Amino acid sequence: MSLKINLNADMSEGFGAYDIGADDALLDYVTSANVACGFHGGDFRTMHRIAARAAEKGVSIGAHPGYNDLWGFGRRRIVMAPKDVELMVAYQIGALQALAAYSGIAVTHVKPHGALNNVAAEDADVAMAIGRALKTVDPALIYVALAGSRMEQAAETLGLTLAREGFADRQYDDAGNLASRSIPGTVITDPAKAREQVLRMVQHGEIVAMSGKVIAARVDTICIHGDEPTAVAVAQAVTRGLAEAGIANVPLTAMDLAR
Amino acid sequence: MSLKINLNADMSEGFGAYDIGADDALLDYVTSANVACGFHGGDFRTMHRIAARAAEKGVSIGAHPGYNDLWGFGRRRIVMAPKDVELMVAYQIGALQALAAYSGIAVTHVKPHGALNNVAAEDADVAMAIGRALKTVDPALIYVALAGSRMEQAAETLGLTLAREGFADRQYDDAGNLASRSIPGTVITDPAKAREQVLRMVQHGEIVAMSGKVIAARVDTICIHGDEPTAVAVAQAVTRGLAEAGIANVPLTAMDLAR
Amino acid sequence: MSLKINLNADMSEGFGAYDIGADDALLDYVTSANVACGFHGGDFRTMHRIAARAAEKGVSIGAHPGYNDLWGFGRRRIVMAPKDVELMVAYQIGALQALAAYSGIAVTHVKPHGALNNVAAEDADVAMAIGRALKTVDPALIYVALAGSRMEQAAETLGLTLAREGFADRQYDDAGNLASRSIPGTVITDPAKAREQVLRMVQHGEIVAMSGKVIAARVDTICIHGDEPTAVAVAQAVTRGLAEAGIANVPLTAMDLAR
Amino acid sequence: MSLKINLNADMSEGFGAYDIGADDALLDYVTSANVACGFHGGDFRTMHRIAARAAEKGVSIGAHPGYNDLWGFGRRRIVMAPKDVELMVAYQIGALQALAAYSGIAVTHVKPHGALNNVAAEDADVAMAIGRALKTVDPALIYVALAGSRMEQAAETLGLTLAREGFADRQYDDAGNLASRSIPGTVITDPAKAREQVLRMVQHGEIVAMSGKVIAARVDTICIHGDEPTAVAVAQAVTRGLAEAGIANVPLTAMDLAR
């Protein structure tokens, strides 16, 4: 049986005069795009543009909802009731669906952004709230969830299709969580190291934590961050590594996902 | 053949701690609700709540998109390229569709708000841009347009279903446009006067302008503004007037609209 | 020696089309106004208007800075680095100083709003950050601080003039903190009860907590919330109570404050 | 008598995760910085940082107020009453004054941004409104105005100190206005051409318009735009040109300005 994996990246996070990330370059390597929806970044123009480019390239798209916080880029936790988070996520999914209609493609997954993703990973109520937004707006939406997190449990509880996410360019702690960006060296900028981490995840279902500890991790999709200057080099190394290992890099919709 | 008309009101324009309008009271009188979508007013909570209340009461809902301007309540023109207006409107429609999904109802019309409505009435490019947003997101959407405006022409050009709008509580100039709010007396606060204006529109297809001039005006839907303190009294007088005259007050989706 | 106290209220929290609070009515009773600065509520028009009205009435004004969160009315904690809080507070003070210049009055105090006030009460780093903003922008600014909180300590550490704040219309827990708004009954809406709480604070330096426990509390200023429908009745009862007891109700700048 | 000129650049227009312009590099060439104040770009962190860097380098600072429109970068006209523009400008000046206090320097000029500058150049009411904001907040503030515009007249009428502005890197029409950015070639990216335009302005008080027509133009300050990739090269060429011609490049406060 041949191996396959999905590569995803966060996109559409600039807006107006503000450019951020390497969206166009990354669309040549990833097979799914997480599209920021105007709350932590992005606007209707970037959403429309990325959906159009993704459609051209056969890249599947998902909503990348965040807190309503341009100044903090969605990286600051805003303490909100879970029901409010749910409706905020639904709003952003719907907005992207409308802009994806311009390209005739469907929104097929949802991956929360930044602080919202961190909160959802640890807080079952928030993880469930996000899942309910998916289930209400479109029950076929794939819930992209940090492997082993509360989000994974929420997807299972709600009967949603689940994509377990790993990271190409971030280090892990022994519990399988992402080590904080504030710890030096936790962002992997060496393409060779990112490639090795990805191949180990896909071929062996393992991650090597910062401490050297080997953690079991089944992942369906691997994120490459676009906001590092090394993002494109990492994406190249990872996709080459996958190709040389005979592993197919496919849209999230072509993965065999748990439900 | 019996006469029928639709009554609409703008709603969902408060948000967070801010209350505005008499949404709940008006939902007992109007048969269509224009739901603000978070740009000039409203947020995902008000959108969700109004959609739920409308569903309970058999009131049809539409998006009420505006400029991104909470401080100006969407009443200040922001000079934007037509394509940007188009995508901005699409975004807001999609956001409401997602929140309406919670109540199992569809978004069936679109009526631009404030300065955006004023610009679209006069500027063919903007009127077309808004129409294209409807056509792309859902070609069955009804375009609510000031009778006789560029929006009416745009709906016809694009083959969209059109609802010509009149106003119960605003005076008209001789050209059939709304007289500016800044002219004293142009907002009708006397319920009897509003009732008379509505009956004349529905029964005779006429509006009496400020000058006394009688203008031909075929209207499918009549707006009652919710932000005047007299809004509920006006709504009561109008609905009673319609009932006494044997005119049915029906959702926009039950009107026989041009396409 | 005759007793005196300052009464303060939060103001300027509406903006544009949104009205909130009973600013004009309360300006007849309070002697200091806390002016929202456009982040959690308010805009340059409300700031300008309240400063002008306060100047007419001899009411002293202060900045009422909050998180940048109109949707949450500054009642949702946004997790920010203390240095960012400091600069955010400085920004808001400066903005108010410029608008107060129109009325020829100075900004003489600062009282944080909502969630920012709650965080500062408990978190020494945030309390110090706010204090440093005052010290940098104008070292004569009075730091209005919940009696017994980290803010009080910060004011003392930084050598700032301190006004210890009590509340006319909120119940306290045994530790002397405000009982959460989410607990029914913790907002005092009975004017007689508010009057009694205020007189006890001023005459005896005591608060009776929800449990009945008597807590020592020296206060220099007492807040009346403007967003309750009973706000004006509470303000009337309190000011009458003070007058009948021979207690002067004076601007914060006329109190004898610790430094 | 030796010649002198001021070079200014717009700065502080990024915020949070968004970087824009070449602020740090340009601070080595210009002698005045126009600091965006959080409305069209910038935030309290960028304002604080640029004020600190300017203080280190002996660069004078001014407020660069814009419309409240991050999505449009202040380049979209928002139709506002002149009084609202006035208070909006006052607010932004005050905010910057507070953040400049951290570096012990004063805000010494004001230059409106983008669409606000374009409107003020042509609309006497808006030009006067901005001038009144300066006069009220600090009558010593220098009004930086497009040479020959309504702003220049407003400064004179109000008795404000005036700095007439020219542009190093933009072409002019025959009326002495900036040719629209939308016309190809109107942004000068060739450093030699920018240098020539600057020297002609300073040495001969002339600008050569796109058509070749020579226009008289007395300027006190020359703007270099930071958002072009060629900005630093232009700044280098211009400052070298000035140095070689023996023209001093001095802060706005060191120019001999009309009042």
Pick among B76, B80, B91, B182 to test the D interface (most D CBs inside 10 A): B76
Mean pLDDT calculated for residue range C28-41 = 98
Asked whether the beta carbons of residue B69 and residue D80 sit closer than 8 angstroms, the reply is no
Asked whether the beta carbons of residue D44 and residue C101 sit closer than 8 angstroms, the reply is no
The whole-angstrom separation of Cα D218 and Cα D152 is 12
CA distances, D224 to each of B220, D93, D233 (Å): 56, 22, 11
What is the CB-side half-sphere exposure of residue C132 using CA atoms within 13 A? 15
Residues composing chain A:
259
Q: Name the helix (H) or strand (E) containing D34.
A: strand D32-36
Joined tokens for residue B17:
């701690």
Mean pLDDT calculated for residue range B169-176 = 91
Contacts of C95 in chain D (CB under 8 A): 91-92, 94-95, 98
CB C63 within 8 A of CB C99: no
For A129-143, write each residue's pLDDT tens digit. 999 999 999 999 999
Furthest CA-CA distance within chain D: 47
Asked whether the beta carbons of residue D15 and residue A71 sit closer than 8 angstroms, the reply is yes
pTM assigned to the model: 0.96
How close B3 comes to chain C (CA, Å)?
37
Mean pLDDT calculated for residue range A94-99 = 98
The whole-angstrom separation of Cα A70 and Cα A79 is 16
CB A54 within 8 A of CB A64: no
Joined tokens for residue B171:
């005076």
Q: Name the residue type at position C207.
A: I
Pairing of strands D107-110, D60-64: parallel
Q: Name the helix (H) or strand (E) containing D107.
A: strand D107-110
Residue of chain B whose Cα is closest to the Cα of D115: B79
Joined tokens for residue A101:
């209609």
Q: Does A96 touch chain B (CB under 8 A)?
A: yes
Pick among A15, A83, A91, A99 to test the B interface (most B CBs inside 10 A): A91
Q: Does C88 touch chain D (CB under 8 A)?
A: yes
- Concatenated DSSP letters for D87-98? HHHHHHHHHHHH
The whole-angstrom separation of Cα A148 and Cα A151 is 8
Report helix, strand or coil for C199.
helix
What pLDDT is recorded for position D1?
53
CB A66 within 8 A of CB A39: yes
The whole-angstrom separation of Cα D199 and Cα D245 is 8
Joined tokens for residue C122:
């408990």
pLDDT class of B148 with cuts at 50, 70, 90:
confident
Q: What is the pLDDT along chain D (259 residues), one digit of tens a residue?
A: 579 999 999 999 999 999 999 999 999 999 999 999 999 999 999 999 999 999 999 999 999 999 999 999 999 999 999 999 999 999 999 999 999 999 999 999 999 999 999 999 999 999 999 999 999 999 999 999 998 899 999 999 999 999 999 999 999 999 888 888 888 889 999 999 999 999 999 999 999 999 999 999 899 999 999 878 899 999 999 999 999 999 999 999 999 998 8
Determine phi and psi for A126, rounding to 5 degrees: -70, -40
Contacts of D12 (CB under 8 A, 6+ apart): D23, D33, D35, D36, D37, D41, D42, D46, D47, D49, D50, D64
Pick among D39, D75, D76 to test the B interface (most B CBs inside 10 A): D76
Residues composing chain C:
259
For C161-194, write each residue's pLDDT tens digit. 999 999 999 999 998 888 888 888 899 999 999 9
Closest by CA position to C65, among listed C148, C172, C141: C141
Report helix, strand or coil for C173.
coil
Asked whether the beta carbons of residue D77 and residue B80 sit closer than 8 angstroms, the reply is no
pLDDT class of A185 with cuts at 50, 70, 90:
confident
* B146, β-bridge pairs: B165
CA distances, A46 to each of A17, A49, A54, A107, A177 (Å): 11, 5, 12, 15, 30
Residue tagged 């202060």 (tokens): C62
Mean pLDDT calculated for residue range C110-135 = 97
Contacts of D38 in chain C (CB under 8 A): 91
How close B80 comes to chain D (CA, Å)?
7
Asked whether the beta carbons of residue C137 and residue D98 sit closer than 8 angstroms, the reply is yes
Determine phi and psi for D145, rounding to 5 degrees: -135, 140
How close B225 comes to chain A (CA, Å)?
26
Other chains touching B, judged by 3 or more CB pairs under 8 Å: A, C, D
Asked whether the beta carbons of residue B91 and residue A38 sit closer than 8 angstroms, the reply is yes
Contacts of B80 in chain D (CB under 8 A): 72, 76
- Which of A16, A72, A75 is closest, CB to CB, to D70? A16
Mean pLDDT calculated for residue range B105-126 = 97
Q: Does D246 touch chain B (CB under 8 A)?
A: no
Pick among D50, D87, D130 to test the C interface (most C CBs inside 10 A): D87
What pLDDT is recorded for position A182?
83
Q: Does C78 touch chain A (CB under 8 A)?
A: yes
Contacts of A227 in chain D (CB under 8 A): 17
The whole-angstrom separation of Cα C58 and Cα C29 is 11
The whole-angstrom separation of Cα D234 and Cα D188 is 9
**Residue C102 DSSP class:** G
In the predicted model, what is the mean pLDDT of chain C? Answer: 95
pLDDT class of B217 with cuts at 50, 70, 90:
confident
Q: Does B176 touch chain D (CB under 8 A)?
A: no
pLDDT class of A178 with cuts at 50, 70, 90:
confident
Taking the CA atoms of A27, A30, A36 and A41 in sequence, report the sign of the dihedral they define: negative
What pLDDT is recorded for position A42?
98
What pLDDT is recorded for position A1?
53
- Concatenated DSSP letters for C36-59? E-SSSS--HHHHHHHHHHHHHHT-
Radius of gyration for the alpha carbons in chain D, expressed in angstroms and rounded:
17
The whole-angstrom separation of Cα C129 and Cα A152 is 39
pLDDT class of B1 with cuts at 50, 70, 90:
low
Asked whether the beta carbons of residue D71 and residue A43 sit closer than 8 angstroms, the reply is yes
List all residues of chain B from 98 to 137 with a beta carbon under 8 Å from chain D: 115
Interface predicted TM-score (ipTM): 0.96
How close A43 comes to chain B (CA, Å)?
9
The 3-state secondary structure of chain A, one letter per residue: CCCEEEEEEEECCCECCECCCCHHHHCCCCCEEEEECCCCCCCHHHHHHHHHHHHHHCCEEEEECCCCCCCCCCCCCECCCHHHHHHHHHHHHHHHHHHHHHHCCCEEEECCCHHHHHHHHHCHHHHHHHHHHHHHHCCCCEEEEECCCHHHHHHHHHCCEEEEEEECCECECCCCCECCCCCCCCECCCHHHHHHHHHHHHHHCEEECCCCCEEECCCCEEECCCCCCCHHHHHHHHHHHHHHCCCEECCHHHCCCEC
The whole-angstrom separation of Cα C52 and Cα C56 is 6
∠ Cα D13 D14 D16 (to 5°)? 140
- Which of B13, B43, B75 is closest, CB to CB, to C71? B43
Which value, to the nearest 10 degrees, does the dihedral of the CA atoms of residues A64, A66, A68, A72 take? -110
pLDDT class of C1 with cuts at 50, 70, 90:
low
Asked whether the beta carbons of residue B97 and residue A99 sit closer than 8 angstroms, the reply is no
- Which of C72, C80, C115 is closest, CB to CB, to A76? C80
Q: Does C94 touch chain D (CB under 8 A)?
A: yes
Q: What is the crossing angle of helices C150-158 and C114-122, to 10°?
A: 70
Asked whether the beta carbons of residue D20 and residue A18 sit closer than 8 angstroms, the reply is yes
∠ Cα C93 C96 C99 (to 5°)? 155
The whole-angstrom separation of Cα A69 and Cα D16 is 10
Joined tokens for residue D52:
């600190």
CA distances, B49 to each of A39, A87, B15, B228 (Å): 21, 10, 11, 21
pLDDT class of A163 with cuts at 50, 70, 90:
very high
Separation of first and last alpha carbons in chain A = 21
Q: Does D66 touch chain A (CB under 8 A)?
A: no
Asked whether the beta carbons of residue A17 and residue D43 sit closer than 8 angstroms, the reply is no
For C18-28, write each residue's pLDDT tens digit. 999 999 999 99
Contacts of A76 in chain C (CB under 8 A): 78-80
Q: Does B14 touch chain C (CB under 8 A)?
A: yes
Pick among A44, A67, A83, A84 to test the B interface (most B CBs inside 10 A): A44
